[in-house]
Amino acid sequence: MRQHGTWQGDGIFYGADYNPEQWPEEVWAEDVALMRRAGVDLVSVGIFSWALLEPTPGRYEFGWLDRALDVLHDGGINVDLATATASPPPWLAHRHPETLPRTADGTVLWPGGRQAYCPSSPVFRERSLALVEAVAGRYAEHPAVVMWHISNELGCHNVHCYCDVSAEAFRRWLRERYGDLDTLNAAWGTTFWSQRYDDWAEINPPRSAPTFANPTQQLDFLRFSSDEQRAQLRAEREVLARLVRQPVTTNFMIGTGIKYLDYHSWASDVDVVSNDHYLTAADPLSHLGLALAADHTRGVAGGDPWLLMEHSTSAVNWQPRNVAKAPGQLRRNSLAHVARGADGVLFFQWRASRAGAEKFHSALVPHAGPDTKVFREVCQLGADLKALAEVRGSRVDAEVAILFDWEAWWGVELDSHPSVDVTYADRLRALHGALWRAGVTTDVVHPSADLSGYQLVLVPTLYLVRDADAEALRRYVDGGGTALVTYFSGIVDEHDHIRLGGYPGAFRDLLGVRTEEFFPLREGERVRLDDGATADVWTEWLHPEGAEVLASYADGPLPGVAALTRHRVGRGTAWYVGTRLDEAATDRLVARLLAEAGARPPVAAPTGVEVVRRRAGDRSWLFVINHTDAEVRLDVTGTELLGGARCTGELRVPAGEVAVVREGHVGAVPLARPTATA
């Protein structure tokens, strides 16, 4: 595994994607002047430049990029240089139409947007690696370049390709995985519906079929597709490893609904875990989604600091209604990412485009220019991040973990299941949201992660689980941990085969329960529990087998049947909830679990005030983000870094504002606070 955490500069990186090729060169000097005014010190360059860098096959034109990098370097701006392979030029598909991706029903996805390539195409691989070689060879020693940016959001638009080239690659992947056809037939359960394969050549991706495709075939195709994208990342990294010495990254898309890339398996391929995060603008509580994405990115990074490669200064262009950010929201969003472990805050993009599909996407420099709310807030944020330089490299305190596995997500949302209302994100968000409201910071980690440091582990909808991971949870509880498992967990093994003997299969003994039959509810149907809670979507006929019953159904299809249980195992306890509790009941359950496990917020704060602690050795910093419309006063002692004030037992944070306190060290030396210059 490559080591994360050695990539930072002197402080918290600040910047954006910068696309100088979209502007006349006269604009570049103004760009650099404005970057300096804003405190920007890192820009990602060349992300979508392949067609300019290699206008015809094998003929490279680097002149404009030479000049752009020099202008940036002269201005003191560092560069995260792209390998520029994110989107091939039109000549690739024109000369090699077989590089175009196809959907499950055979539709060709043509160039004209971006990322129109088959991820398994050997032609694409060869041409893209030749470009990486050329770019890396030319700029390896350029003094502006501090980081390399492989491709861009690998698999964002082309993760699943069903063409013949992909079919061949899928067969190779399957041979590697299973060795022989008997093993594949057993794993896929092909005795069902006359699906037995007699020759590898008979196997295809799960293309459009008359009815439900084999679920294990679907699951393996999803694994294969994530691995094919990862193979591009690794192939580019190998070229870079030969030619450059700077750290290497690529931007993940954790927490924006992108489902099909297993980033837990990719993290070891990069030196810097980077993430892109965009708010769901229609959601008034979008800062909860942000916190979840950041906590998950940190989990993927193994707890190390990570880089926020992209977010937006205001509206995006690709949602149905692109709501602009309210004054102050940009600052709260950015500093929430830093609170949760980001050591850099970058945006898409520096200057708003004049042309192209993203011309209505916000930027640091809007169409209206620098005399704007957005650019003033950009300058303010630059000053804030400078004041937080000392936080760089510290880690986030978290006593609670939520287990997350992309394969479980893929598995639980396959077709022909008991209820379409059981989705993976649902309980994940519900439990993370309850912890957020309780003020408790949570790591979102893979089930194979080391759980020993956590007071409480929550396991939402872990439908697919491997034996070793189920056993690790049992050992965690046995050793004194507290765990909660929610319904439709532990159901299948890694082949999507049911674990027999009663649900929830892999967790039955740990939880001390046995479910004999699922009773999913009708759309909109609600049931009541005898502790006053309500629930919907799911109930199940559960028998306690050693577990204590904490609540049962008062009505619905299963009156009197247990809905919430607790089981003592060794020195710990394992809780199970067999239904989808309403939000208030989920909050009460999480509060009980926190109390039992002894996990607490960093400081007591009203709901809606986000408080997170970062720590390095004996130093710690408390981030306080007030999402409410009233001033709050918290019991905190230390030096507030954004305003330069000291506080002794009382920190005041006005409505909508952010404070960051270096705890404890109230020395005599006055704090020099950089000021915004906009």
Active site residues: 153, 310
Write down the least CB distance from residue 253 to ligand GLA, Å. 7
Between residues 110 and 318, which has the closer beta carbon with respect to ligand GLA?
Answer: 318
Three-class SS state of 29: helix
Between residues 46 and 411, which has the closer beta carbon with respect to ligand GLA?
Answer: 46
587 binds ligand GLA (CB under 6 A): no
Write down the least CB distance from residue 310 to ligand GLA, Å. 5
Q: Exactly one of 7, 139, 173, 278 binds ligand GLA (CB under 6 A); which one?
A: 278
Looking at this protein, which amino acid is placed at residue 267?
Answer: A
Write down the least CB distance from residue 557 to ligand GLA, Å. 45
Between residues 296 and 361, which has the closer beta carbon with respect to ligand GLA?
Answer: 361
Size of the site for ligand GLA (CB under 6 A): 9
Q: How far apart are CA 673 and CA 353, in angstroms?
A: 34
- Pairing between strand 658-663 and 637-640? antiparallel
Q: Helices 424-437 & 583-597, crossing angle to 10 degrees?
A: 60
Write down the least CB distance from residue 47 to ligand GLA, Å. 6
Binding mask 248-277 for ligand GLA (x = CB under 6 A): ----------------------------x-
Q: Which two tokens stand for residue 476?
A: 């965690």
Q: How far apart are CA 24 and CA 154, in angstroms?
A: 29
507 binds ligand GLA (CB under 6 A): no
Between residues 79 and 492, which has the closer beta carbon with respect to ligand GLA?
Answer: 79
| DSSP conformation class of 351 | B
Write down the least CB distance from residue 572 to ligand GLA, Å. 41
Q: How far apart are CA 584 and CA 479, in angstroms?
A: 30
Three-class SS state of 514: strand
Write down the least CB distance from residue 51 to ligand GLA, Å. 15
Residue 37, C-beta contacts closer than 8 angstroms, at least 6 positions apart: 370, 379, 677, 678
Q: Exactly one of 32, 316, 590, 594 binds ligand GLA (CB under 6 A); which one?
A: 316
Q: Exactly one of 310, 377, 443, 469 binds ligand GLA (CB under 6 A); which one?
A: 310
In sequence order, what DSSP letters do the residues of 212-265 get, joined into one string? ---HHHHHHHHHHHHHHHHHHHHHHHHHHHHH--S-EEEEE-TTSS--S--HHH
Write down the least CB distance from residue 2 to ligand GLA, Å. 23
Q: How far apart are CA 39 and CA 383, in angstroms?
A: 7
361 binds ligand GLA (CB under 6 A): yes
Q: Exactly one of 188, 348, 406, 576 binds ligand GLA (CB under 6 A); which one?
A: 348
The radius of gyration computed from the CA coordinates of the chain, to the nearest angstrom, equals: 26
Q: Which two tokens stand for residue 231?
A: 């193979």
Between residues 310 and 399, which has the closer beta carbon with respect to ligand GLA?
Answer: 310
Between residues 278 and 623, which has the closer beta carbon with respect to ligand GLA?
Answer: 278
In sequence order, what DSSP letters do the residues of 434-496 get, joined into one string? HHHHTT--EEEE-TTS--TT-SEEEE----B--HHHHHHHHHHHHTT-EEEEESS-S-B-TTS
Residues of 334-367 as b/e, b for ≥16 C-beta within 10 angstroms? bbbbbbbbbbbbbbbbbbbbeeeebeebbbbbbe
Using CB under 6 A, which residues numbered 143 to 162 contact ligand GLA?
Answer: 152-153
Between residues 102 and 287, which has the closer beta carbon with respect to ligand GLA?
Answer: 287
Q: What residues line the site for ligand GLA (CB under 6 A)?
A: 152-153, 276, 278, 310, 316, 348, 358, 361
